[in-house]
Structure 1
Amino acid sequence: MDGNGRWAKKRHLPRAVGHQRGVDAVRRLVRAARAMGLQALTLYAFSTENWRRPEDEVSALFGLLKRYIQEDLAEFVENNVRLKIIGNYKALAPDIVALLDDALARTAGNDGTTLVVALNYGAHDEIARAAAQAAAKGAITPETIEAALDTAGLPQLDLLIRTSGEVRLSNFLLWQVAYAEMWFTDVLWPDFTPDHLQEALDAFANRERRYGGR
């Protein structure tokens, strides 16, 4: 979900306003994903590298996260959306951990769309933790690593979307993206709409996936 800061800069607004509009886009897209019948939607909310940002911006981001969960949790429950967190969210502030644990527990029985939020997440860290866990149990194989990833139990990643014109993965789902299709757009995240999501899905549907075969 890239481009909140640039969206605000183009309009001579504080970066915080861009992040607020980014949350509005999250709401639109989560509702659209449910209406479209998507099994899972994963949003890269905060990376292990984002700690390098100014302290006031980091604080504002987590404030928005808390407000989003508090305001939308009832909607998740009502609409059968399951929440899942990937990344080391247990290292976050205790009040955020408690809020997330409560949301995870209250939506655990839902079997509609799974909303996966990547928090304090980095793919290098995820793969290293998974390899260590696999080694502690025995052989290190692709299967044992995959079973120990944060995304274990989720559907296979089919499509990765990145907004704002950036054409790189930025340490996101590096293991899972091995055979995923990718779709890049110049649209800044606050301007990303369900129509853009449908455009990406239509492009995905027209691609031939051979998984190394012919």
Structure 2
Amino acid sequence: MCGICKNESRNSLCYKCKKKIQKEFKFTKIHTKDKNFLEQYYLFQYKDLIRNMILEMKFQKKPYIYKTIEYFLQNNKKYLEKLKKYDIIIVVPLSWKRRLQRGYNQSQLIAEIISSILQIKIESRILYKTKNIVPQSTLNKKERKENIKGAFKIKNIEKIMNNKILIIDDIYTTGSTLNECSNLLRKNGIKKENIGVLTLAKD
């Protein structure tokens, strides 16, 4: 079944929807100056078809949609080659309460796709979310920055020292969440030039 139109398909993405999503795909790299990470990558703009897919995966308990994303990225993996310079993937974590409610971490599903395609190891016991904060999507830029402050803790930093780290999340809006995670890594000895971030989409 196609994860987008829900019609019968030999693969998780039918030909018609594949053409639609291909038009939306734009692997983009940005060098940052005012963030705690050096490079930002995203695969789509957060709008239309992609927005609907992410919202369904995130809030409507449809993790199978990640299979559609996986199928598409496997067929476009040449665009991801720039990410091979990273040694370790870290996923932006959910609080235990949010994880329990949702049943999965959508950013983890995205990270597993990238890890599988590029053969980059995921270190899942590094960042922990210790506060169940107000959803960032309900706040403005200033409120997001304050809301996320101090929401994460770090453990096992020795596992990632002297490596290039790629932090993965689902959506980049203001960058507050990824900047907070990167700031925590920097405070614990990881250099800015060794930190990059990747999101499925950018708002």
TM-score (norm 1): 0.34
TM-score using structure 2 length: 0.35
Structure with the higher strand share, 1 or 2: 2
Decide which structure has the larger Cα Rg and report it.
Answer: 1
More helix per residue? 1
